[in-house]
Chain A
Amino acid sequence: MREVAVVAFAQSKSMRREPDRNEVEILIPVIRELREKTGLGIEEIDFICSGSSDYLAGQSFAFVSGLDAVGAWPPVSESHVEMDGAWALYEAWVKIQMGYADVAMVYGFGKPSMGDLPETLALQLDPYVVTPLWPDAISIAALQARLCIEKGVTSERQMAEVAARDRKNALANPYAQVKGEFEVAKLLAEPYLANPLRKHDCSPISDGASAIIIASEKRAKQLAKRPAWIRGFTHICEPQDLGVRDLTRSRSTEIAAEKAGVKKDKIDVAEIYGPFTHQEILVEKALGIGGKTQVNPSGGALAGNPMMAAGLTRIGEAARRIWDGGADRAVAHATSGPCLQQNLICVLEGN
């Protein structure tokens, strides 16, 4: 395996609604910031990969316009996944591993405010037998949360504690959308959105984008003082059907964490993409991280959830802690699909 590191990261503010900017306009300053941070010209970037979803944009080929944001001229070697940008980063990492590239740029973006996100996500389900019932994403997650509570995996109080913790952490994150000090008792007094989920259990709907640059050993050392070395990178997908999975644990996260070597050493920081509080708890359990690990110092997805970028942002936020010396070893997690169907784990180290 080649040594590859995350060397730069930029993101837009997570916003409930970007009324004036389209996806490209949200992306342009993010890409510009990345270029300014690294001083890299387009010709120095060997490979570009992006993640986005046509159904969020309400348009076929929505990712094509992303090329305008990167200024793809002269023509670039470029690819795209219809997935969160974290998986685009994985594809770019593979390209560096095979010796095709030394420096790669990755971005993810989404503007779900243009539609009704929980309803839109119903279109991710089996189109023949499930989607026609039109179960929205919050109701599906609520079924999982109910199961977790009844099996004793978590409780409404624990879930509220996660929300309070993440929102408090987000106070230090200028890009976060939902932040502040909240009393657990007051959160628990709020009405249900979809029993047992309350509003604080759900990540907000966010427009936004993020981007990362990764590089092979020699280039990484030139581009960053303390590169965040990728020492484990893997992802696993479960079957989608809710009836064939154990929804009270995240089996695919467990497998991915094992393969990525999460438990080989202590983890100082974990950035988890939990779209719902109980899912954050399930991932934390699956990672097997101890009490000394700081979880979601950025506030996580519960503080800002720009679809198709939020997973990539977790990797960027984890890398940031390595760069500034706040952590020596960090794990970043990304998820996709209903009830944590697909999960990605990226282990970063400073040494």
Chain B
Amino acid sequence: MAERCGIVGIGQTRHQAARKDVSMAGLIREAAEKALADAELTWKDIDAVVIGKAPDMFEGVMMPELFLNDAIGGAYKPMLRVHTAGSVGGSTGIVAASLVQAGIHDRVLTVAFEKQSESNAMWALSISLPFSVAVVAGAGGFFAPLVRGYMRRSGAPEDTGIRVALKDRKNALKNPNAHLQIPDIDFDKIASSPMLWDPIRYLETCPSSDGACALVMAKESLADKAPRKPAWIHATEMRSEPTMFSGRDAVIPRATLDNAKNLYKKAGITNPRKEIDCAEIYVPFSWFEPMWMEGMLIAEKNEGWKMTYEGATAMDGDFPVNMSGGVLSSNPIGASGLLRFAEAAMQVRGQAGEHQVDGAKKALGHAYGGGSQYFSTWIVGSQKP
């Protein structure tokens, strides 16, 4: 029933620790202008704006989309602000796409961002309220036990995480927008970096970044006429479950498995490892690559680490993952999910430059958030669905 939707413009900022040269408005406008330039469109061609970002306390502004709206041409247009924890960038892309797929708007601009240098994410995540469990020491403190749980159940070699980090950090050297560029990166450098949240080392962790990502989406008849070939949305899916309850598998939650099954069903995919050419997966801590290979049903249970170990997820492997360098190399939190979605679209459009997978026709974009409880994903292709 849904209308076809094509991604006709993609833009992102250069991500870095602190973009002191721009305000929040300047940051999102930079990404939006690049997306419009890619689509060869102007502000007046846009019918609606969808803004996404992670918690407002990351910048210290309540509902900042209200003051940002007109910086991206949203004046006197419909504007929505999405917030679904770490998966928000992905969810934002999905909401924007649904406005086109529902036939409500012809062209939608979506921008997701985070300007972490405005505030302190660790602090914002560590507020303790009466009668609730405090997430102590930021996200790493929450996720480290889940990684340890995965290591125990899968029997994965201890250095799997280091290998993921090495691959992603090498990939980042091919991506001019990546925040962390470490030219002399090697196995020993990661292995000897300080242990932050055992078993997660400093160089197995994502940075705090300022950055934004923007997409222009269009209905089929307009996408057909786009100056560059569009990435077509084949399927989108989201799943959520509560943070904690007795018996919950927090390592590979049911929500990720349900999400994957439904996504592939909608996209007509029966063998994801064979039919998908490459994937941008939300990996804020290295070990989440093998975990989500299992969570996305790409690897068999307890065997996700083998894909990393055997080099399947490397640029020259049979299932390249995080060609851009991933979240480990750039993490403007609210934008990180949309960046995954955008990088997947760039691959099938053949515009990923030095980190392009040759001949990529179908790609997976993935984001997750909260306590491994929010999942949003899409499949994009060079051909129409």
> A residues engaging B (CB < 8 A)?
1, 22, 53-55, 58-61, 63-65, 67-68, 72-83, 87, 90-91, 94-95, 97-100, 120-121, 123-128, 131, 234-241, 251-252, 255, 336-338, 341-342
Q: Is the CB of B80 within 8 A of A81?
A: yes
Taking the closest CB of chain A, its distance from the CB of B138, in whole angstroms, is 11
Q: Is the CB of B242 within 8 A of A68?
A: yes
Please report the C-alpha to C-alpha distance between residue A237 and residue B63 in the assembled complex, in whole angstroms. 13
Q: Is the CB of B23 within 8 A of A128?
A: yes
Q: Is the CB of B57 within 8 A of A255?
A: no
Contact A60 B74, CB 8 Å, known A76-B240, A82-B56, A98-B1: no
**Which listed residue (A81, A95, A235, A238) contacts B98, Cβ 8 A?**
A95
Chain B residue contacts of A234, Cβ below 8 A: 78
Chain A residue contacts of B129, Cβ below 8 A: 58-59
Q: Is the CB of A240 within 8 A of B61?
A: no
B64 within 8 A of A: yes
Between A65, A78, A121, the greatest number of chain B beta carbons within 10 A of the residue's beta carbon is seen for A78
Please report the C-alpha to C-alpha distance between residue A99 and residue B102 in the assembled complex, in whole angstroms. 8
List 17 additional A-B contacts (Cβ < 8 Å) besides A59-B127, A81-B82: A53-B62, A60-B58, A64-B371, A75-B255, A75-B258, A76-B241, A77-B238, A78-B84, A78-B239, A79-B84, A81-B80, A98-B2, A123-B62, A124-B62, A234-B78, A237-B74, A238-B75
Taking the closest CB of chain B, its distance from the CB of A118, in whole angstroms, is 12
B352 within 8 A of A: no
Please report the C-alpha to C-alpha distance between residue A338 and residue B75 in the assembled complex, in whole angstroms. 15
Q: Is the CB of A75 within 8 A of B57?
A: no
CB-nearest residue of chain A to B130: A22
**Which listed residue (A65, A94, A237, A341) contacts B77, Cβ 8 A?**
A237
Interface residues of B in 307-326 (CB under 8 A from A): none
Q: Is the CB of B78 within 8 A of A240?
A: no
Q: Is the CB of A77 within 8 A of B239?
A: yes
Taking the closest CB of chain A, its distance from the CB of B87, in whole angstroms, is 10
**Which listed residue (A58, A67, A238) contacts B243, Cβ 8 A?**
A67
Bin the interface of chain B by size.
35 or more
Q: Is the CB of A61 within 8 A of B55?
A: yes
Taking the closest CB of chain A, its distance from the CB of B284, in whole angstroms, is 15
CB-nearest residue of chain A to B242: A67
Q: Is the CB of A125 within 8 A of B67?
A: yes
Taking the closest CB of chain A, its distance from the CB of B96, in whole angstroms, is 10
Q: Is the CB of A336 within 8 A of B66?
A: yes
Contact A81 B76, CB 8 Å, known A60-B127, A74-B258, A97-B102: no
Jot down 23 A-B pairs with beta carbons below 8 A, ordered by A: A54-B56, A60-B125, A64-B371, A64-B373, A67-B243, A72-B240, A75-B253, A76-B239, A77-B237, A80-B91, A81-B80, A82-B65, A87-B80, A91-B80, A98-B1, A98-B3, A124-B66, A125-B67, A127-B60, A234-B78, A236-B77, A240-B69, A337-B63
